[in-house]
Chain A
Amino acid sequence: MTLHIVDRRLNPGSKSLENRQRFLRRAKALVQGAVKKSSQDRNVKDVLEGGEVSIPVEGMDEPRFRRDGGTRDMVLPGNKKFIEGDILPRSGQTGGRAGGPGEGDSQDAFRFVLSRDEFVDLFLDDLELPDLAKRKLAEVESEGIRRAGYTTSGSPANISVSRTVARAMARRVALRRPRPEELAALEAEMATCDEVRRVELLAEIAALKSKMHRIPFIDPIDIRYRRFEAVPKPVAQAVMFCLMDVSGSMNEHMKDLAKRFYMLLYVFLKRRYRHVEIVFIRHTDRAEEVDEDTFFHGPASGGTLVSSALQAMHDIVRSRFRPADWNIYAAQASDGDNSHADGEVAGRLLTEMILPASQFFAYLEVGQDGGMMYDMPNSSLWTLYERLRANGAPLSMRKVRERSEIFPVFHDLFQRRGQQERAAP
């Protein structure tokens, strides 16, 4: 009897991926609710990690006719001390029953693990990038080239050696071009054989040689060139500017709030763009570009001049991120302090230089945990931005005091708008 051994390990895995997607699609609303709920208890850093969610089994059940109640008879192993006729008090302990997935009435929740991608997809599903109109303009501006199969004509630099050799080999095999080994074998035989055979062999070798001559090793018809075609290349890169006031009035709690917001924005952009760069600009009364660690933890002191940061951002955009090639996003976090004299400069910088170049500019005013923000008058920066907004500048601004508010605020900023609203501008 023959045995077949098949190695299936290299087969494409995830055979049940399709089933899993069907399941998630069916359970989408439920899973989405669960994802939102579970993300409330997480750090922003871990939001991406995927993980276990549990959804109510309602709507996902697979009912079967089942019976319960009635007289039960069971035979069990491991009798220790019972004898016939004993009456055992009911404790509900005998005979544990393990339920399968989603079986029975008793099970009210169904737990399973979502992968990181599934989690983030569901988490950010109803959000979208604002200002798509401008992005589309930017998209078609650059062109790239892309591989597009093979062609019979082209520049010698584009010869595809592997394809050419493969075709040549196919042709040689099809036309039965004698192989050099055959020839060598015959010649070797000739060295030792007798005269009659020698004549035969000579004729045979001559025939083979002429055949080899007629069927070339590589023929011009074998040659293939790699083909390229030009395609409009979408701008698949974005830069995210994080601007933060690090003057003495910003405490750790405020920075933490800002950090969480930046991270959400990063996650979100990362999902839309192949390549996302982050630029950290911190400012007191002067601004500097720093690395992430310094940005969040480096000590700094001084007054507050928002315009310095805006100027720095503008310079960086001009020198490194051409608006035609980059989608530019900026998020600014501050406690709202700014020197009064600076308002005019900052406003002009923003409306004339920065906003026209960027897709999105968000201002996040962070406050003290538990502070009575509503009782306080609006900060100078808030007042300034509010005025700009009233004049039609595309600014998004929110106030945040507690960690738990970060996601709702973020969600609010990027919520998918209705069709008309989107079409209107």
Chain B
Amino acid sequence: MTATDQLLFRGADWDFPALQRVHDACEGIALKELGLNVYPNQIEVITAEQMLDAYSSVGMPLYYKHWSFGKHFAYQEASYRKGLMGLAYEIVINSSPCISYLMEENTATMQTLVIAHAAFGHNHFFKNNYLFRQWTDADGILDYLEFAKSYVTQCEERHGRQAVEQTLDAAHALMSHGIDRYPGKKKLDLRAEEKRAGKRRMHEEGTFNDLWRTVPSGPAKSDVLLNVGRRQNLLGLPQENLLYFLEKTAPRLAPWQRELLRIVRHIAQYFYPQSQTKVMNEGTATYVHYRIMNRLHEQGRISDGNFLEFLQSHTNVVFQPDFDNPHYSGFNPYALGFAMMQDIERIVTCPDEEDREWFPDIAGTGDAMAVLRSVWTDYRDESFISQFLSPRLMRHFRMFHLHDDPAESAGILVDAIHDERGYRRLRRELARQYDVGFIDANIEVVDVDLAGDRRLMLRHVVLKGAQLSEVDARRVLQHLADLWSYDVSLVEVDASGTVLKEHVANPRKLAAAA
């Protein structure tokens, strides 16, 4: 067999047998040489328009209907048509089988890159990382989305589009606070979900009796029942999952509204690990595609020209602009992730003195893939950076830490730079930037005034003086009050317990209420 016969493809054109050959070649390297463990793959070829469609439904192949997705579509289409935005080469979905969407206009090299990147890199990460294993059910997600879609449609037929839209609007506003941050969650099960929804409806229909309305309410509840401790215990307070709290306890929601809140909450939970592992996820995928592509080239299965094409787009992907570059918009997760993965490989295989001092556990152990696989399994961005960002990389990126205190009129303080004194502080601060505990506002339901006007009380613990932005907070609280059906108040307190501000919202009359 001559060398040219081994080529997976020639030139820029690809066809379906070529995709199959590329996949098989990548699979050989990924499973045998890198030791990856992946879900079965499904590759779907789509057009640019379909890619735009996928964008507007957060990449999922099916989703319930809502105007806000149309809005995002309109926005993205506008920027795409104007040339402000390129489209991704692929979208990959954390499901089993793992679905990767490839754009039809990618060249053969790009398809190879994308298959290595998504169908093996991301796929391995989805299947193995502890956050994904804990929070998402890859086998069930597509079925659940199907259920959600048809349930929302049913609700619209049954209760009117406007009522459903109002409930979903409100739920979306609270989506970022509809997440359980600690485990204890049951797995999603399509059949059980459907059965529950059906049972609720049956119960509602079966027990409906108009006479019940005239039954007088019992004597006033005793004080004992309503004391703070018991009340908090009863309602599971304090509760930071606002959507869960509303679903379970909001007094005047209809059952179908509770189900909608539940759907939004489950979907938010499904995406929760992705937001915590951007750097690691992209770093893993980029590292994997880089290894696979290099290996394919070594084996003579990709021509030199095509390999150069790959190197060019790879370099673009892992480019990190400096802070003063007009293109700068934060750390590029591909660049940081890929650099850290390569750095770990270097530390494991040929460490220097500094590495031995900083990473005694892994320096020089020799098997880079074993170390990387365990890193990919057991860490998220925050812990990954705080443990594996090496001084060498901090010097490479020339990182520095700015501390901006508005009270300080002189200006912004350069608190640490990439030197001996600054490494640990830099690393701690950068890790914090990826810590969800710091990214999302810490808002909890603390109490409900059951004896009085049923006011729902929330508390925002202000960190580093960052209060909620007024307008948005008012709008979100309005949605919250609409769901709760009584007044809602939110106090912002600092760490010492001093009240900084109070927001109050009164419920509007919803189309669906009563």
Could you tell me which A residues sit within 8 Å of B by CB distance?
Answer: 1-9, 11, 13-16, 18-26, 52, 60-80, 82-90, 93-98, 100-102, 104-105, 110-113
B430 pairs with A75, CB closer than 8 A: yes
Whether A76 and B406, one on each chain, are in contact in the complex, defined by CB atoms closer than 8 angstroms, is: no
- What are 24 of the A-B contact pairs (CB < 8 Å)? A1-B38, A4-B42, A8-B44, A16-B52, A19-B57, A20-B73, A26-B67, A64-B176, A65-B440, A66-B468, A66-B472, A66-B473, A67-B441, A69-B467, A70-B465, A78-B320, A78-B322, A78-B323, A84-B414, A86-B413, A94-B324, A101-B76, A111-B75, A112-B78
B residues near A3, Cβ cutoff 8 Å: 20, 23-24, 27, 40-43
Q: Is the CB of A14 within 8 A of B43?
A: no
The distance in angstroms between the C-alpha atoms of A18 and B411, with both chains bound, is 50
A19-B67, A70-B464, A79-B398 are contacts. A104–B416 as well, Cβ < 8 Å?
no
Interface centre among A13, A23, A61 (most CB of B within 10 A): A23
**At the interface, is chain A mostly helix, strand, loop or mixed?**
loop
CA distance A78 to B412 in the complex (A): 17
Q: How far is the CA of A113 from the CA of B83 in the complex (A)?
A: 13
B475 adjacent to A63 (CB under 8 Å)? yes
CB–CB A77/B70 < 8 A: no
Q: Which of B127-135, B209-217, B259-267, B417-425 contacts A (4 or more CB under 8 A)?
A: B417-425
Given contacts A61-B475, A75-B426, A77-B331, contact A9 B104 (CB under 8 A): yes
Checking A23, A26, A87 against B412 with a beta-carbon cut-off of 8 angstroms, the contacting residue is A87
Q: Does B462 contact A (CB under 8 A)?
A: yes
Task: Check: B509 CB closer than 8 A to any chain A CB.
Answer: no
Q: Which 6 A-B residue pairings sit nearest by Cβ, starting from the closest?
A: A78-B322, A23-B70, A70-B466, A70-B465, A19-B70, A63-B475
Determine the distance from Cα of A78 to Cα of B331 in the docked complex, in whole angstroms.
11
B472 pairs with A5, CB closer than 8 A: no
Candidates B72, B78, B321, B440; contact of A111 at CB < 8 Å: B78
Give chain B residues whose Cβ lies under 8 Å from the Cβ of A79.
398-400, 417-418
Chain B residues with CB under 8 Å of A102's CB are 71, 75
- Asked if B65 is at the interface (CB within 8 A of a chain A CB), the reply is yes
Known A-B contacts A4-B41, A5-B43, A75-B433; A16 and B322 likewise in contact (beta carbons under 8 Å) = no
**Which residues of A sit under 8 angstroms from B169, Cβ to Cβ?**
62
B66 proximal to A (CB < 8 A): yes
CB–CB B45/A52 < 8 A: no
Residue B401 interfacial (CB < 8 Å): yes
Task: Kindly list chain B residues whose C-beta atoms are within 8 Å of the C-beta of A85.
Answer: 413-414
With known contacts A9-B46, A62-B172, A113–B77 Cβ distance under 8 A: yes
Complex interface: chain B residues within 8 A of A69 (CB): 406, 465-467
User: Whose C-beta in chain B lies nearest to the C-beta of A112?
Assistant: B74
C-beta contact mask, B389-416 vs A, less than 8 Å → 1, else 0? Answer: 0000000011111111110001111111
Contact assessment for A105 and B472 in the assembled complex, using a CB-CB cutoff below 8 Å: yes
Does residue B471 face the partner (Cβ distance < 8 Å to A)?
yes
Contact B40 A11 (CB under 8 A): no
| Cα separation A5 to B99 with both chains bound (whole Å) | 10
| Seed contacts A22-B67, A70-B463, A112-B74; 11 additional CB < 8 Å A-B pairs | A3-B24, A5-B43, A8-B44, A23-B73, A69-B465, A75-B400, A76-B402, A77-B331, A88-B413, A110-B71, A113-B77
